[in-house]
Amino acid sequence: DAGVIQSPRHEVTEMGQEVTLRCKPISGHNSLFWYRQTMMRGLELLIYFNNNVPIDDSGMPEDRFSAKMPNASFSTLKIQPSEPRDSAVYFCASSPGRDRRGNTDTQYFGPGTRLTVL
């Protein structure tokens, strides 16, 4: 089984440029999450989707960030314009949702995209 796939794995760009990160969740999973990880702030949830619908985007830092999930097998996180403080590792994770008892189910992480904004 293929896990969560993210691309690119590394991205170096200059301030002001548009950056698009891509994610393919595990087939059959209903929920998709975008996280950002830095040394200072740890792992932060940016936004998540249930059945392709954005549920909670309260973690999106500002309007420069946007995320879409046009179908069950693809999502993008876009930063426009990018700034040096956006430099971080961005993880995508997917989850089946809830188990049969209604418990929150496990999230499976992709390998991450390391973004450097110069």
Partner 1 sequence: QKEVEQNSGPLSVPEGAIASLNCTYSDRGSQSFFWYRQYSGKSPELIMFIYSNGDKEDGRFTAQLNKASQYVSLLIRDSQPSDSATYLCAVNILGAAGNKLTFGGGTRVLVKP
Quote the least distance from Cβ 54 to partner 1, whole Å. Answer: 10
Q: What does the binding site for partner 1 look like in residue numbers (CB under 8 A)?
A: 31, 42-43, 45, 48, 50, 55-56, 91, 95, 97-98, 101, 103-112
Nearer to partner 1, 31 or 82 (CB): 31
Minimum distance of partner 1 from residue 81's CB (angstroms): 27
- Please identify, using beta-carbon distances, which residue of 81 and 108 lies nearer to partner 1: 108
Q: Is-contact 20 86, C-beta < 8 A?
A: no
Question: Closer to partner 1 at the Cβ: 81 or 89?
Answer: 89
d(CA 21, CA 10): 10
Task: Report the residue number, 82 or 113, with the smaller CB distance to partner 1.
Answer: 113
Question: Closest approach of Cβ 61 to partner 1, in Å?
Answer: 17
Q: How far is the CB of 1 from partner 1 (least distance, A)?
A: 15
